[in-house]
């Protein structure tokens, strides 16, 4: 029997694929830069970067899930893979940070850590935004996905630009580009 190396790892869905569309467009503009795929999970955003010609050696992939870390180390042997709760174990600064966070508010049907962002859906996002500024170069960018169901996002003093929105089953997804 072959062990499924993806069990316990967030599988790409509409949100991941939607974010990937924008990553593909934007990463082509980067030459020699450092990119962080935060909460990498299956590695779809990192794979999009590589498929768009971005050097694997300039990618850092971070996730809190041990199963995801094992999977990522096998799939991306030339990238820097770090088990970290957001930026806890990261010290570098990046030109681009990509994050498809858990963004749904807790409810009685879904409290999984890969989809639920806390009571309002924004708790993990808000912690990320607070910490990210210390890991972004001055001219750097963040691509982050949120939902119409996410409440009380504290955007702090980031400049934000809506890159795209998409209606799916019971919500609308948004892709934001943030700068300092």
For the chain, what is the domain count?
1
Task: Tell me the backbone φ, ψ of residue 14, rounded to 5 degrees.
Answer: -55, -40
Q: Is residue 95 part of a domain?
A: yes
Per-residue pLDDT at 115: 55
Q: Find out whether 177 and 160 touch, Cβ atoms under 8 Å.
A: yes
Per-residue pLDDT at 4: 38
pLDDT digits (tens), the chain, 180 positions: 233 345 578 788 899 999 999 999 988 887 668 999 999 999 999 999 999 999 999 999 999 999 999 999 999 999 999 999 999 999 999 999 999 998 767 664 544 455 555 677 789 999 999 999 999 999 999 999 999 999 999 999 999 999 999 999 889 999 999 999
Per-residue pLDDT at 7: 56
What CATH number does residue 159 fall under? 3.40.50.150
Q: Is residue 104 part of a domain?
A: yes
Q: Is residue 9 part of a domain?
A: no
Task: Please give the angle made by the CA atoms of 56, 62 and 63, to the nearest 5 degrees.
Answer: 135
Per-residue pLDDT at 12: 85
Structural domain that includes position 49: 14-146+155-170
pTM to 2 decimal places = 0.90
Q: Find out whether 145 and 173 touch, Cβ atoms under 8 Å.
A: yes
Q: Is residue 177 part of a domain?
A: no
Per-residue pLDDT at 121: 78
Distance (Å, rounded) from C-alpha 107 to C-alpha 117?
A: 11
Burial class (CB in 10 A: 0-12, 13-18, 19+), 140: buried
Q: Is residue 8 part of a domain?
A: no
Q: Is residue 115 part of a domain?
A: yes
Q: Is residue 142 part of a domain?
A: yes
Q: Is residue 162 part of a domain?
A: yes
């Amino acid at each position: 029997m072959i062990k499924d190396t993806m069990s316990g790892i967030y599988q790409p869905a509409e949100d991941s694929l939607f974010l990937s569309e924008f990553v593909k467009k934007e990463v082509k503009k980067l030459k020699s830069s450092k990119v962080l795929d935060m909460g990498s999970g299956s590695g779809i955003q990192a794979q999009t970067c590589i498929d768009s010609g971005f050097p694997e050696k300039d990618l850092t992939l971070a996730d809190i899930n041990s199963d995801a870390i094992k999977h990522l180390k096998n799939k991306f042997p030339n990238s820097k893979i770090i088990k970290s709760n957001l930026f806890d174990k990261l010290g570098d600064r990046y030109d681009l940070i990509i994050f498809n966070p858990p963004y749904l508010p807790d409810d009685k049907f879904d409290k999984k850590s890969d989809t639920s962002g806390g009571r309002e859906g924004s708790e993990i996002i808000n912690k990320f935004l607070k910490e990210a500024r210390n890991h972004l170069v001055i001219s750097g960018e963040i691509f982050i996905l949120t939902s119409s169901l996410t409440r009380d996002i504290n955007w702090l003093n980031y400049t934000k630009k809506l890159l795209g929105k998409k209606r799916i089953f019971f919500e609308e997804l948004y892709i934001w580009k943030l700068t300092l």
